[in-house]
Amino acid sequence: MVVTDIGHSGTSLMIGSLSSNRPLYMLLGSGSGTELATLSGLIAVIGSPKAFTSSNVATAKAITWQADWNSVEMSGLSLREFVLNPGSTDAGESFNYNNLGDAISFDGTNELRIELKWTVY
C-alpha cells in the first residue's frame, strides 16, 4: 500500500486540528531516559502544562506546535524532556517523547519557547 500526497496532507490536518484526540498541551519533564516508541508519557513531570501559543497546519503534510513559558514559570527547573499531550496531565497519552540528553537549568532569567514540527511522510 502507498499513502498518497492527499493522504499525507489529510493525516497532518486531522492530527493538527480536526481530531478530537489531538495534541493540545506541551508538558515538560526532568527525567533522563531513552526515546522509545513504547513510552507513553514523561519520566518526571515538572512545571505546569502549557496550551499551545500557536499551532499551524497551513503547510501541506506538516504540523507545527509552539509553546512558551516565561522566566517565572521556568525558574529553578531543570529540563530534560517534553511531550505533546491531548490533556493537561501526564496520563500516559503522549503523542511523542523528546529527550534533550543534557539538562537545561533555568535560574529565573530565562524564558523557554519550544517549536515542534512534524512532517507526515
- Residues 35-47 have pLDDT tens digits of 877 777 888 999 8
How is the chain split into domains, by residue range?
5-119
- Note the pLDDT tens digit of each residue in 19-68: 667 888 999 999 987 887 777 788 899 988 999 999 888 888 888 999 99
Whether the predicted pLDDT of 7 surpasses 50: yes
Q: What is the pLDDT of residue 1?
A: 45
Query: How many angstroms separate the Cα of 52 from the Cα of each of 6, 65, 88?
Result: 26, 7, 11
Beta carbons within 8 Å of 9's beta carbon, 6+ residues apart = 60, 61, 120
Q: What is the pLDDT of residue 57?
A: 84
Q: Measuring CA to CA, which residue among 57, 64, 60 is closest to residue 6?
A: 60
Is the pTM higher than 0.95? The answer reads no
Beta-carbon neighbour count of residue 64 at 10 Å? 17
